[in-house]
Amino acid sequence: MRGPTELRAVLHEAQVRGTAVPAFNVTTLEQVEAVVSAAERSGAPTILQLSERTIRFHGGLHAIVPGIAGAIRLSSARVWLHLDHMTDYELIARGLDYGVPSVMVDASQLPFEENVRAACRVLQLVGGTGGIVEAELGHIGGKGGAHATGARTDPDEAARFVEASGVDLLAVAIGSTHAQRDRTSRLDIPLLTEIRARVSVPLVLHGSSGVPDDEILRAVKAGIAKVNMSTHLNLVFTRAAATAIETGLASDPRDYLGPARDAFRDEAARIGTLLAPPST
């Protein structure tokens, strides 16, 4: 599995160049394969993300991380594994034991000082591994279908949070929301610009599925260096599988999982090229 040193350099390079690293959440092995293939096609450095819910769906890290590590190891693409929206410290520790280079601790719904303490606790777990720790400030809603596009990260609090916690990446609330199916969100770019001026670490946009391409690019230009996406690609995957099943010709899971994987790959490759176009 690729380590954190190169990923840290890639994220800082994106911040300097005005590009962003795509970070795609996956649930199935087919989606893992799709992300790796997309990275090979686009050439974009790419992060492959596992949520706590996905890990529990598979019965634990042991059931999915070795396969992901193998897919990354056998690929020529630059792909890293990241644990996303983690709240279970024991699960985080086990992920670090597996060599996972990057983790996001999710404590944004807690008061400021408790959020800082949660980030510091994960940094202690990371210890001397050099692993990357991401945190979120300004709770980005949308989990469970409850959209909350009104959340905003305060720039002064963002600066204090990064200084107090020492995190490597900061996810900020600027108008996006998790689990949004339509791509209609408009982002608060002036706020993002103000946060960028106050915070030195790379910034992360969560809830990007509900944000149209042009808005994402505006955010990248204004300082977002990592773009998380899940729901949009899950919809692409599911619709392709449903179309294959509706033809009546699918008698084997491969008959619909294959087209679904290909559709996921194609869209992930497009987004990767959009966010991190090849250097000219």
Which positions are annotated as active-site residues?
Answer: 84
Give SS3 for 103. strand
Element (H, E) at 93: helix 89-97
Q: What distance in Å separates the CA atoms of residue 232 and residue 256, rounded to the nearest whole number?
A: 18
Q: At what angle do helices 253-275 and 213-222 cross, to 10 degrees?
A: 40
- The closest of 152, 163, 250, 252 to 199, measured between CA atoms, is 163
Residue 48 DSSP class: E
Which tokens go with 19?
Answer: 């590009």
Provide the 10 A C-beta neighbour count for residue 50.
26
What span, in angstroms and rounded, lies between the C-alpha atoms of 79 and 77?
6
- The dihedral built from the CA positions of residue 12, 142, 217 and 80, taken in this order, carries a sign that is positive
Q: End-to-end distance of the chain based on CA atoms, in angstroms?
A: 29
Closest CA to 68 of 92, 91, 46: 46
- Residue that has been written with the tokens 């916690």 in this structure: 165
Quick one: which of 163, 148, 99, 146 has its CA closest to 126?
Answer: 99
